[in-house]
Structure 1
Amino acid sequence: MNETAVSPTIAELRARIQCLEGRPLRKDEVLSFGVAEMDSKLPGGGLAMGALHEVAGGGADAIHGAAAALFAAGIVARTKGDVLWCLARPDLFAPALTQAGLHHDRVIYVEADREEDVLANFEEGLRFGGVGGVVAELVRLPMTASRRLQLAAEASGTIGIALRRWRRPTEAADFGQPTAATTRWRISVLPSEALPVPGIGRARWLAELIRARAGEAAEFEIGACDATGCISFSPVSADRPDQAGRSRSAG
């Protein structure tokens, strides 16, 4: 059969077979956000699929942590196949993931008693391939462990997200330590979108791209993930106070 005449259905079946066999994806395959202002700041126009990425909340509290989790959920929601979610604390709220586009019937929860086991499950899931993505909730991410995770992701072509969660505020300082992650994100909660009538508008976040390999740091004000895992974009306000309460227009 002429390759150019292959139907979309056949192409999708071939992609699924390739995924199940654990064969690596193309090195240049990326998952775009669908927002030009963000994708243009990322090498290749999106998040590298066969790579490790880090996501953390802008603060050590539960509110910012939840925003980071939903940001991660929206990313893997836009992949194909099941998603492994590795965790040590059984406090993940599945209906919230569904609102961010990650339906419960796609998620395989892998619970462990120790963080070391979460790391081991994370690496095993990435090496296996055959899934849409792997998310792991971690307090610490040592450089050696992150290198192993990055290599596992590269070998299988599976996207991995290290979701940094802390039990106490002092542990948040570990996020400043270097890792082998391809990108590093910090997600902070902003006031919701204003509505013309009384009510609660769409949640909004400040997404800070702290590190991007072969790219530059940037920040974006975005609307939270919708039911398809997609975000919306809005320009950064020049007079919006930063997290320390200072105005951006101040010297």
Structure 2
Amino acid sequence: MRSRSAIESLRAQIGQIEGRSRRSTAVLPFEITAVDARLPGGGLSLGALHEVAGGGNGAIDGAASALFAAGIAARTKGQVLWCITRADLFAPGLAQAGLTPDRVIYVEAGDDRTVLTCMEEGLRHGGLGAVVGEVARLSMTASRRLQLSAEETSSIGIALRRWRRQTETVDFGQPTAATTRWRVSVLPSSPLPVPGVGRHRWLVELIRARAGESADFELEACDDTGRLAVPADLADRSLAAEGRQHSAAG
């Protein structure tokens, strides 16, 4: 009986390990070959924590990073928990990035510590598509707790780094347990053949990817389905370069 009990216990442990492994291999692809090729499994890991921040242009890049996070959340299934310390999110802007108001549950917290606690509870819940938390500081200990909580479910955790003071930005360079780390900066809009403003364009930097490679991408901002795109002029240039390579090989 003891032997059978030990075997059943071992099977249960192996089942837990295999279950976690299967969850960790599930991904949310960007559906852009150049981006997905840099990410293990071909997309953003589900059941994992990811970091997103704006570039050096203050509130403008900060807004772009929030829309980048919204686009990711929009492509998940289920409700999205968004934890904030400042009630300054522009809901119509998030909707333009595919995250409609009926899908978002806002939690207004007083400080980073409360935001992190709310994120952890949201990730442990397991019924949410994504959990986004706006924080200035993210320690290794706090990020590890979020990562472990996310691993128990298929929810994506996004630590959206926002700073009140420029001096706080140095914390973004400190190591965390996040699976990926991204930085988003605004670029001039895509040109139009007629007067007007084209689709917004971003410099999206993949600063860190666990078991992957860092890279920079010039992309068009999220559309109303949360999807990014390669600017047409860059895509045409890439196709032309490929054509020249094939011609030379021939």
The reply to whether TM is greater than 0.5 is yes
Structure 1 residue ranges without an equivalent (≥5): 1-22, 237-251
Name the aligned partner's letter for residue 83 of structure 2. Answer: C
The list of structure 1 runs, each at least 4 consecutive aligned residues, that deviate by more than 4 angstroms after superposition, is: none
In structure 1, what is the equivalent of residue 47 of structure 2?
50
**What is the Cα-based RMSD across aligned positions, in Å?**
1.6
CA contact (8 A) 1:136 1:161 kept: yes
CA contact (8 A) 2:23 2:153 kept: no
The size of the alignment, in residue pairs, is: 215
Alignment of 1:153 with 2:150, yes or no, is yes
Q: CA deviation at 1:26?
A: 2.5
2:38 aligned residue (36, 41, 56)? 41
Q: CA deviation at 1:187?
A: 0.3
Alignment of 1:30 with 2:27, yes or no, is yes
CA contact (8 A) 2:184 2:202 kept: yes
Whichever structure has more helix as a proportion of its residues is 2
CA distance in 2, matches of 1:27, 1:181: 13
- 1:132-175 deviation per Cα after TM superposition (whole angstroms, max 9, x unaligned): 10000000000000000000000112100000000011111110
1:122 aligned residue (108, 119, 124)? 119
CA contact (8 A) 1:82 1:108 kept: yes
Q: TM-score, normalised by structure 2?
A: 0.83
CA contact (8 A) 2:131 2:158 kept: yes
Name the aligned partner's letter for residue 98 of structure 1. Answer: A
Quote the sequence identity (%). Answer: 67
CA contact (8 A) 2:56 2:185 kept: yes
Alignment of 1:226 with 2:223, yes or no, is yes
Q: TM-score, normalised by structure 1?
A: 0.83
In structure 1, what is the equivalent of residue 184 of structure 2?
187
CA contact (8 A) 1:127 1:156 kept: yes
CA distance in 2, matches of 1:112, 1:214: 34
- Bigger Rg, structure 1 or 2: 2
